[in-house]
Amino acid sequence: MVPERTEIVTQSAEETLARGQELAATIQAPLLVLLSGELGSGKTTLAKGIISGLGAAREEDVTSPTFTLVHVFRRSGENEGKVYHVDLYRVANFHDLETLGLEDVLTEPGILLVEWSERFRLRTDWPRLAIHLEHLEGNSRRIVIEREGP
């Protein structure tokens, strides 16, 4: 179980990735993982950690969904289910958002990671993990994780 609010500072991309993998061990479907923070703050790096930590993909197979917008991964075994990785950076309006088909995604319990989640609020009662990343000096990043809902 993730505490209500956790704040960490990482010093490298590798450390952010490792923190994502640790976080993965504490989460279960259904869950929205809302990643916010400016370009280069580490959203994709953290997502890579979470998705690989969930056993849904190898690290090198998790890339930024900037152009493809939605990546789907499948887990097998005990924690079977789908893991989605979405980037809303290039989604201009609600019409574009609808074409991503997230409403369908939300009908079946899975794990949905959303970069640039501050752009649109998704309608669902799934529990949320809101993660905000911020540049500090150099390679330092502040990562604030807040658990919302049940």
Ligand X SMILES: Nc1ncnc2c1ncn2[C@@H]1O[C@H](COP(=O)(O)OP(=O)(O)O)[C@@H](O)[C@H]1O
What is the rounded CA–CA span in Å between residue 135 and residue 131? 14
Annotate each residue in 47-76 with x if it binds Mg ion (CB under 5 A) or - if it does not, as one string.
-----------------x------------
State the minimum distance, in angstroms, from the CB of residue 88 to ligand X.
12
| Backbone region of residue 84 per phi and psi (left: phi > 0; alpha: psi in -120 to 50; beta: other values) | beta
Helix-helix angle 43-53:13-24, to 10 degrees: 40
Instruction: Looking at residues 30 to 89 of the shown chain, list those that interact with ligand X (rule: CB under 6 A).
Output: 37, 39-45, 64
Among Mg ion, ligand X, none, partner that 36 touches (CB below 5 to 8 angstroms by kind): none
What is the rounded CA–CA span in Å between residue 91 and residue 99? 10
List residues near Mg ion by CB under 5 A. 43-44, 64, 115
Q: Which residues bind ligand X (CB under 6 A)?
A: 10-13, 15-16, 37, 39-45, 64, 115, 139, 141
